[in-house]
């Protein structure tokens, strides 16, 4: 690996660290859809994009977009993107690395242009933390940020439309965010967020498919009452019911190959040590490469929740937040990416992604491909998430071969 790429990689990692300062919580990275820290993130990212020779705008869905024009009109647009929002107490590379690496890739071109134009996008929302529904930014790109999604409320009762307005943007103009160019293509760099590449000692992986995911919210309602005076047989404890069901979720998921199911959030009310919990809201996240297996699992788990609630005298309500099918990356485009990895003398590891990505939304409208970078120790969605400078340098080298290959074979 040349010193040139390693120096660029070191700067990219430093930039990810610099972006992590823009957070809703001191000492941790938490950056949700169009929160105030996203505004300062945009200021910094805009500066870097402009330094790399891009014209920058923020669309009305809050995506930051840098255009790097081509030398010939009528050529197919290449979009390179990832997301700038995060989960609570996040790692600093999930999403941000893909955006910063794309900017770094254009920066090492040092002013050189291809015949085709490139647009680098920092998506405003991918994680689904604030509104319970992910991919708000990339949905806007493909023209699927609809009225129902704009009307969705966060826990404070603020709608997606309100959030857009408070950020100084115009929700009535989100459709202007949709890609209008003919036959665009999409490339995403992302950390693997799992242990596969690390266990094989490989810096890069080429994504073939992204598994499908279901996300639901379930509310268990019982009767809040005095913890000292209410005998055990006369209780309707919402948390005890939810806990029984969470144990079922873990057991059911472990019994099916390749299935993962997670209850990652539980809100307990009223939330005092001497009050029987009267209300619990929990999330459910289910993923599997087969959509049928995933749907079957969700059906079984919701039936179990009904049964547990009925037996305990609780009422239950459920709301589906996401039913995202598994998505295959474009075979030809992915082969081109694999070719670029080979040109760098790295073995090509083809793999599925268990994490969701903006690429799964973009793939509905355009050929899409993803390059994974090794996640040391497979840790992600956690502050210990990391990346190696050599791997970022390898991704830059493969990215450059990929752009050159597109230039040679561009139609
Ligand atoms: C995004 O990180 C997801 O897979 O939940
Ligand atoms: Mn994530
Ligand atoms: Mn991500």
Give the whole-angstrom CA distance, residue 325 versus residue 282. 22
| Residue from 207, 171, 168, 214 nearest 188 by CA | 207
Helices H / strands E in the chain, number of each: 12, 16
213-324, what's its fold? Alpha-Beta Plaits (3.30.70)
On whether the CB atoms of residues 376 and 198 are closer than 8 A, the answer is: yes
Chain-centre distance of CA 326, in angstroms? 14
3-210+326-409, what's its fold? Aminopeptidase (3.40.630)
The ligand 1 atom nearest the CA atom of 285? 5
For residue 361 and ligand 1, the question of a CB distance below 6 A is answered with no
| Cα of 353 from ligand 1 centre, angstroms | 10
For residue 90 and ligand 1, the question of a CB distance below 6 A is answered with no
Reading the chain (411 residues) residue by residue, the pLDDT tens digits are 678 999 999 999 999 999 999 999 999 999 999 999 999 999 999 999 999 999 999 999 999 999 999 999 999 999 999 999 999 999 999 999 999 999 999 999 999 999 999 999 999 999 999 999 999 999 999 999 999 999 999 999 999 999 999 999 999 999 999 999 999 999 999 999 999 999 999 999 999 999 999 999 999 999 999 999 999 999 999 999 999 999 999 999 999 999 999 999 999 999 999 999 999 999 999 999 999 999 999 999 999 999 999 999 999 999 999 999 999 999 999 999 999 999 999 999 999 999 999 999 999 999 999 999 999 999 999 999 999 999 999 999 999 999 999 999 876
| Cα of 381 from ligand 3 centre, angstroms | 9
List the structure tokens of 241.
């019911």
Where in the chain do CATH 3.40.630.10 domains reside? 3-210+326-409
Provide the 3-class DSSP secondary structure of residue 210.
strand
- Ligand number with the minimum distance to the CA of 83: 3
| Cα of 380 from ligand 2 centre, angstroms | 8
For residue 128 and ligand 1, the question of a CB distance below 6 A is answered with no
On whether the CB atoms of residues 133 and 321 are closer than 8 A, the answer is: yes
Query: Up-side HSE of residue 228: CA atoms within 13 Å toward CB?
Result: 1
For residue 127 and ligand 1, the question of a CB distance below 6 A is answered with yes
Where in the chain do CATH 3.30.70.360 domains reside? 213-324
- Ligand number with the minimum distance to the CA of 358: 3
Cis (ω within 30 of 0) for the bond into 233?
no
Q: What are the strands, taking DSSP E only, across 77-203?
A: 78-83, 118-123, 185-191
Give, for ligand 1, the residue of 188, 356, 358, 361 to mutate: max count of ligand atoms closer than 8 Å to Cβ: 356
Give the whole-angstrom CA distance, residue 61 versus residue 83. 13
The stretches of 201-352 forming alpha helices (DSSP H) are: 238-254, 291-312, 331-343
Provide the 3-class DSSP secondary structure of residue 321.
strand
Does the pTM surpass 0.95? The reply is: no
| Cα of 190 from ligand 2 centre, angstroms | 10
């Amino acid at each position: 690996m040349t010193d040139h790429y390693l120096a660029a990689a070191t700067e990219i990692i430093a930039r990810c660290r610099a972006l992590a300062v823009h957070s809703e919580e001191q000492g941790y990275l938490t950056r949700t859809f169009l929160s105030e820290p996203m505004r300062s993130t945009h200021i910094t990212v805009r500066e870097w994009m402009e330094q790399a020779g891009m014209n920058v705008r923020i669309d009305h869905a809050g995506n930051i977009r840098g255009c790097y024009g081509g030398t010939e009109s009528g050529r197919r647009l290449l979009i390179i993107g990832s997301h700038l929002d995060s989960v609570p107490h996040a790692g600093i590379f999930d999403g941000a690395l893909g955006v910063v690496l794309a900017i770094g890739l254009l920066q090492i071109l040092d002013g050189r242009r291809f015949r085709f134009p490139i647009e680098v996008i920092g998506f405003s929302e991918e994680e689904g933390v604030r509104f319970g529904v992910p991919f708000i930014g990339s949905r806007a790109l493909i023209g699927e940020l609809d009225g129902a999604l704009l009307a969705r409320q966060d826990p404070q009762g603020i709608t997606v439309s309100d959030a857009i307005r408070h950020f100084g943007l115009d929700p009535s103009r989100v459709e202007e965010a949709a890609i209008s160019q003919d036959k665009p293509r999409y490339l995403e760099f992302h950390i693997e967020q799992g242990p596969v590449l690390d266990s094989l000692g490989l810096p890069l992986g080429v994504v073939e498919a992204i598994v499908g995911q279901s996300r639901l919210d379930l509310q268990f309602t019982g009767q809040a009452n005095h913890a000292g005076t209410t005998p055990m047989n006369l209780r309707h404890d919402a948390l005890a019911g939810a806990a029984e069901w969470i144990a079922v979720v873990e057991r059911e998921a472990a019994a099916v190959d390749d299935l993962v199911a997670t209850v990652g959030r539980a809100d307990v009310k009223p939330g005092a040590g001497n009050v029987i919990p009267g209300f619990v809201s929990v999330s459910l996240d289910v993923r599997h490469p087969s959509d049928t297996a995933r749907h079957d699992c969700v059906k079984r788990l919701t039936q179990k929740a009904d049964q547990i609630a009925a037996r305990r005298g609780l009422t239950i309500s459920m709301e589906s937040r996401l039913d995202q099918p598994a998505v295959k990356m474009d075979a030809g485009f992915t082969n081109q990416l694999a070719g670029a990895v080979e040109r760098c003398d790295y073995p090509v590891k083809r793999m599925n992604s268990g994490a969701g990505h903006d690429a799964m939304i973009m793939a509905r409208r355009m050929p899409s491909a993803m390059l994974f970078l090794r996640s040391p120790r497979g840790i992600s969605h956690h502050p210990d998430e990391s990346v190696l400078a050599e791997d970022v340098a390898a991704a830059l080298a493969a990215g450059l071969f990929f752009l050159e290959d597109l230039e040679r074979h561009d139609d």
